A = this chain, B = another copy of it.
């Protein structure tokens, strides 16, 4: 049987490797996607997800996450949750609830504590220092404060044909308290149907929720489009529509996998992702928007990876 995993950004690669090892050993899609995303949440140098994530404008680290089961459509989600080690695990647990399965703010944090999830101060000294520096830059140079919104979104397919999707994010850097993006929002940040496939998003949440692109990509795959054709059609079609109607489209990148393990991506900015399946070892690729609603996808170079490694670990003065 086919199996596979795909996830947004180079940061997800080690998680994709782990997920694929598990899937090869008959692990369930839901557990594999949780492990994948926990790997990203736990790594301190990724500053947009989990531990090490950058705080909001008030200096508080608020996180969003969601989980969806493609067999049953069960969804669990949290937004603005604080001080919990693995938001994805809280979301997955919430997906078992028939009621109250999307929790925000203090209610989300309280749920995690009551359910015994590990409490952790998720704000690293490094993240705090980056935040301080940024505040100063904004003040001195009168900058637009908002950049950086690298959600981890991931889709897994297991040998039994079940699929799952998960997302996790600390959201837009310098966001206002309580700001929520697309990551915990079904249809915008993620969607999966095991009879078809799944999709997940990263980018400017405020614009992603205007388009419901994850739902649309899954729907197009259900109509017979390949994952790549579905991503191209949905993403570039919406990019054009939003530019025409709203004036400007923010950055966004979508990934998709169908229930044969075939995959696709589309993006309006330079975008990295990691993917592997029963046939192909996990690999990091670089994607860019091409001409005529197409995507240019190439393997990542050694130089790119070395520069990335250096960048994320560079000293913060």
Contacts and interface: CB of A to CB of B under 8 A. Distances in A.
Contact of A187 (B180, B187, B205): B187
Contacts of A80: 104-105, 107
Contacts of A246: 72-74
Interface string A14-34: 000000000000000000000
A200 interface: no
A242 B177 contact: no
Nearest to A101: B206
Query: How many copies make up the complex?
Result: 2
Contacts of A188: 186-187
A181 B75 CA distance: 12
From A97, A178, A211, name the one whose CB has the most chain B CB atoms within 10 angstroms. A178
17 contacts: A71-B245, A72-B245, A73-B245, A73-B246, A75-B206, A75-B210, A102-B179, A103-B177, A103-B178, A104-B178, A104-B180, A106-B106, A107-B176, A111-B178, A186-B210, A212-B215, A215-B216
A99 interface: yes
A210 B102 contact: no
4 shortest A-B CB distances, which residue pairs? Answer: A107-B178, A105-B105, A107-B177, A187-B212
A79 interface: yes
A302 interface: no
Residue from the set A105, A176, A191, A246 with the largest chain B CB neighbour count within 10 Å: A105
Given A110-B178, A178-B107, A102 B215 contact: no
A103 B212 contact: no
